[in-house]
A and B are shown apart, each in its own frame.
Chain A
Amino acid sequence: MHPVLATVLQRLGLGVVTLFFVSLIIFAAIAMLPGDFGEAVLGQAALPETVEAFRKELGLDKPAWLRYINWVAAVLQGDLGTSFSGRAASGVDRSRDVVDLIAPRLWNTLFLAGITALIAVPLALFLGITTALARNSVYDRSVNAATLTTISFPEFFVAYVLIVLLASIWPVFPSLANVTPEMSFTERLYKCALPSLTLTLVIVAHMMRMTRAAIINLLASPYIEMAQLKGVSKAKVIVKHALPNAWAPIATVIAFNLAYLVVGVVVVEVVFVYPGIGQLMVDAVTSRDIPVVQACALIFAATYILLNLLADIIGIVTNPRLLHPR
């Protein structure tokens, strides 16, 4: 087998194994719940029979490994279980399927993250590469100082400052990003302006600094000096000698920061009351709605693993040592 394929498969295998362990950990969450949580969900007045029925529905009378298999099988078929909320002590069940809760919100979150990535990735790469090339210049120093400051800011600080400035004092954008499915695309964009601006500011700082470090590291390679001493022009040194070796580090930087973006979304959604999966998860944690928490955690973790997997695979398929084995 070609070494590239072998390495990619190996990496994919590792990804699956990681996902398996992550699902185990997330599943274990429900097993760790205290014994009386049925009452906590259904209320103090719940009849013992109701609680018993509830426990049975969750399969708590079955062994853990069987429950795990059932859970995984259900998840693979797109069934994420039923929410705890909407259940009453009387046994009346007005709860909803987790999938129905998550699906529209997941789409909203992806929309927000996508827009942010579209602005942030090119901007960060541009800043990172230009500062690396103009190292120690005034431009480099000022961009560096600015990003060092922004990465220190909590997301909600950036968000509220933007709200005060751009929604309150100069009301250019709305401070609430309460999008609805009926909205047109442009209206959605308008509503998302402040949340995505907040996320962009936070992400660009991180991504730019990492890109800069990666490029500086690359430019210190002896083969770059050799190319200069061969009289190759500056632009050609970058395009022909640095770039082919830059894909792997840049892919890693982008993946790492997109993964960071996925997490940053949680706080920003809460600030702007944006109906995304992050806000859903926070609400579910507050009300201890475990099935929803589990589903959200699984989605976040899977995205995170997938992004890193993708970066590794880009690194593998652009590695000349693997592409052209001995």
Chain B
Amino acid sequence: MTTDTENRGAKGDLLLEMRDIRISGFSDERWHEIIKGVDLTLRRGEVMGLIGESGAGKSTLGKAAMGYAQPGCKIMSGSIMFDGIDLVAASEADKRALWGSRIAYVAQSAAASFNPAHRLIDQTVEATVGHDISSDSEAKSDAVELYGSLQLPDPDTIGTRYPHQVSGGQLQRIMTAMAMSPRPDLIIFDEPTTALDVTTQVEVLVAMRDIVEQFNTAAIYITHDLAVVAQMADFIKVLRYGEEVEEAETRKMLAEPEQEYTKSLWSVRALEKPEDKSSEIVLSIKNVDAAYGNTVKVLHDVSIDIPRGRTVSVVGESGSGKSTTARVITGLLPPMSGSIEFNGETLPGALKDRTKDQLRRIQMIYQMADTAMNPKQTVGEIISRPLEFYHGLKGSQKHKRLVELLEMIELDESFMDRLPGELSGGQKQRICIARALAAEPDVIICDEVTSALDQIVQEGILKLLLRLQKEFGITYLFITHDIAVVTAISDEIVVMFQGEVVEQGLKSEILSPPHPDYTQLLLSSVPEMDPDWLDKLVDERN
């Protein structure tokens, strides 16, 4: 198979032109406009980054670039011209002839998007062979080469495996090979690294970028992560509520964004709490081992000291044991050995052995505010339960305190009768904070509290938490995988890897070199808002 762009036009020729696209989705028994008149132009060999928060319509727009509307959606108006072909007017058969030959798609969840019943290599070449672009054997030997250039282990044999037999990061690269196999003119990457850990993400990003460059393929890269898109795209388009905010060349966009909204997307990274030392330890876990079902040991000899009135961040990737540590502290998972000391006394390991006062003093806030609140209880009921339960408040006293708490989280009385389903993501998380505050705790455990939220909302929550700490001297144990959040909020940092503490110390100590190997790998893998970051990193690591 030849790899050039013979007869397909040269780099810089117009490839895709979308004009005034309007797409509606059907829900709640009526049509809602998801994309409200967006234009998009892409030339051969260019990579466009499409960024926006959840609900911005970026994925819908990306699929529309193929002429595809997902079930429940409809392209209402506008024109999509792909290399002279009108995709809005094209028949299903015409579009099918383009899909998987000249336009390819890489989905977010590789694990779900591969058919469990077929070998990976058969799925890799399915479109290429199906569209008669090359013969089965040619396509397969080409696929093996692609696996090799995507840095997959054992490129000769990995294709003979089934999807459940390889890891998530490898699957994502195989899906890229699948998209590249027919040598398309355009690839749509739909949040391809969102489900991956940071250290895995780096490898996948490098592989995807190099192969797109190698074959001079045009691409639309959809993500909510600015730092990631900065590495991948030549220029960036920002979407919000289905409308375009602005579009600019990547370096220009990063250096001098024009719109207020775009500037606000940068802001969380600018938030940084000055660190503060403290010697009084409020909570201390000592040499804790823990296991699920007495078999799989997930914590090995973990010791963490948490100073009063400060924020300790626990960072690590999935499987590092950071959430398990939180479960041990709350008493949901009694430790096999080791102890927990709280305010100078030993805390019983199991929840049921702890006193009401001990329970009151340690509160928890969850990642998904959606599932942390009973959907059948109103905001008032949710916040007032700890008031009744711990403090015995009733009637007007309870109401007064309720209003106070709502004001503390910058909401007002009118929210009291709402159900959680009637709140935005940020508001839900604020209600959870108010519920924790109502108990008047010493320590609040925050388990990834901002990672499900959009950038700008994240910042509001982090600021609120900082203000509350200042006012009430609350101690936070912050569990997160997001280094930007760590910088924003913590005084001390604990790095965890595979159930062990790698290091613990003040923020300034941990974030500045020299680092232990794992901390180095973790910190260096966090994408930065510098378009050259990935190049530099690759140079460094080689």
What is A's interface to B at a CB cutoff of 8 Å?
221-223, 225-233, 236, 240-241, 244-245, 320-321, 324, 326
**Interface 1/0 per residue, B294-321 and A, CB below 8 Å:** 0000000000000000000000000000
Take A221-B112, A225-B70, A229-B99 as given contacts and tell me if A244 and B117 are in contact as well, using a CB distance cutoff of 8 Å.
yes
Assign chain B's interface to a size class.
20 to 34
> Is the CB–CB distance between A231 and B131 below 8 Å?
yes
> Is the CB–CB distance between B116 and A245 below 8 Å?
yes
Other than the known A231-B97, A245-B115, what 7 A-B pairs have Cβ atoms closer than 8 Å? A223-B116, A228-B68, A229-B66, A229-B105, A230-B130, A231-B100, A320-B116
Question: What distance in Å separates the Cβ of A317 from its nearest Cβ neighbour in chain B?
Answer: 13
Which one of A222, A236, A321 lies within 8 Å of B109 (CB-CB)?
A: A222
**Interface 1/0 per residue, B84-125 and A, CB below 8 Å:** 000000000001111111001101010011111110000000
Question: A240 — which chain B residues lie within 8 A by C-beta?
Answer: 118
Take A226-B105, A320-B117 as given contacts and tell me if A232 and B126 are in contact as well, using a CB distance cutoff of 8 Å.
yes
Residue B165 CB within 8 A of the other chain: yes
Residue B162 CB within 8 A of the other chain: yes
Question: What distance in Å separates the Cβ of A231 from its nearest Cβ neighbour in chain B?
Answer: 4
Q: How far is the CA of A229 from the CA of B98 in the complex (A)?
A: 9
> Is the CB–CB distance between B115 and A231 below 8 Å?
no
Q: How far is the CA of A295 from the CA of B161 in the complex (A)?
A: 50
Question: A228 — which chain B residues lie within 8 A by C-beta?
Answer: 68, 99
Question: A236 — which chain B residues lie within 8 A by C-beta?
Answer: 130
Residue B164 CB within 8 A of the other chain: yes
> Is the CB–CB distance between B114 and A223 below 8 Å?
yes
Nearest 5 A/B pairs, CB to CB? A231-B100, A230-B100, A231-B99, A244-B117, A230-B127
Question: B98 — which chain A residues lie within 8 A by C-beta?
Answer: 231
Q: How far is the CA of A232 from the CA of B117 in the complex (A)?
A: 16
Which one of A222, A233, A245, A326 lies within 8 Å of B113 (CB-CB)?
A: A222
Take A229-B66, A231-B101 as given contacts and tell me if A223 and B112 are in contact as well, using a CB distance cutoff of 8 Å.
yes
Can you list 29 A-B contacts (CB < 8 A)? A221-B112, A222-B109, A222-B113, A223-B112, A223-B114, A226-B105, A226-B107, A226-B114, A227-B126, A228-B68, A229-B66, A229-B68, A229-B99, A230-B99, A230-B100, A230-B105, A230-B126, A231-B95, A231-B100, A231-B101, A232-B130, A241-B117, A241-B118, A244-B118, A245-B115, A245-B117, A321-B116, A321-B164, A324-B164
Which one of A222, A223, A229, A324 lies within 8 Å of B100 (CB-CB)?
A: A229
Question: A326 — which chain B residues lie within 8 A by C-beta?
Answer: 164-165
Chain B residue at minimum C-beta to C-beta distance from A242: B115
> Is the CB–CB distance between A241 and B115 below 8 Å?
yes
Question: A324 — which chain B residues lie within 8 A by C-beta?
Answer: 161-162, 164-165
Question: B104 — which chain A residues lie within 8 A by C-beta?
Answer: 230
Question: B95 — which chain A residues lie within 8 A by C-beta?
Answer: 231
Chain A residue at minimum C-beta to C-beta distance from B116: A320
> Is the CB–CB distance between B113 and A223 below 8 Å?
yes
Q: How far is the CA of A326 from the CA of B100 in the complex (A)?
A: 29
Question: B100 — which chain A residues lie within 8 A by C-beta?
Answer: 229-232
Chain B residue at minimum C-beta to C-beta distance from A229: B105
Question: A320 — which chain B residues lie within 8 A by C-beta?
Answer: 116-117, 162, 164
Question: What distance in Å separates the Cβ of A324 from its nearest Cβ neighbour in chain B?
Answer: 5
Q: How far is the CA of A121 from the CA of B203 in the complex (A)?
A: 51
Name the residue among B117, B130, B165 with the largest chain A CB count within 10 angstroms.
B117
Chain A residue at minimum C-beta to C-beta distance from B128: A230
Q: How far is the CA of A112 from the CA of B254 in the complex (A)?
A: 76
Question: B107 — which chain A residues lie within 8 A by C-beta?
Answer: 222, 225-226
> Is the CB–CB distance between A231 and B162 below 8 Å?
no
Question: B109 — which chain A residues lie within 8 A by C-beta?
Answer: 222
Question: A245 — which chain B residues lie within 8 A by C-beta?
Answer: 115-117
Question: What distance in Å separates the Cβ of B105 from its nearest Cβ neighbour in chain A?
Answer: 4
Question: What distance in Å separates the Cβ of B180 from its nearest Cβ neighbour in chain A?
Answer: 13
Name the residue among B96, B97, B104, B115 with the largest chain A CB count within 10 angstroms.
B115
Question: A233 — which chain B residues lie within 8 A by C-beta?
Answer: 96
Question: A232 — which chain B residues lie within 8 A by C-beta?
Answer: 96, 100, 126-127, 130
Take A225-B70, A326-B164 as given contacts and tell me if A231 and B96 are in contact as well, using a CB distance cutoff of 8 Å.
yes
Question: B114 — which chain A residues lie within 8 A by C-beta?
Answer: 223, 226
Q: How far is the CA of A109 from the CA of B338 in the complex (A)?
A: 67
Question: B68 — which chain A residues lie within 8 A by C-beta?
Answer: 228-229
Q: How far is the CA of A61 from the CA of B159 in the complex (A)?
A: 69
Chain B residue at minimum C-beta to C-beta distance from A236: B130
Q: How far is the CA of A324 from the CA of B66 in the complex (A)?
A: 34
Question: What distance in Å separates the Cβ of B219 from its nearest Cβ neighbour in chain A?
Answer: 15
Name the residue among B113, B114, B131 with the largest chain A CB count within 10 angstroms.
B113
Q: How far is the CA of A244 from the CA of B122 in the complex (A)?
A: 14
Question: What distance in Å separates the Cβ of A121 from its nearest Cβ neighbour in chain B?
Answer: 23
Question: What distance in Å separates the Cβ of B462 from its nearest Cβ neighbour in chain A?
Answer: 33
Q: How far is the CA of A240 from the CA of B126 in the complex (A)?
A: 11
Chain B residue at minimum C-beta to C-beta distance from A219: B71
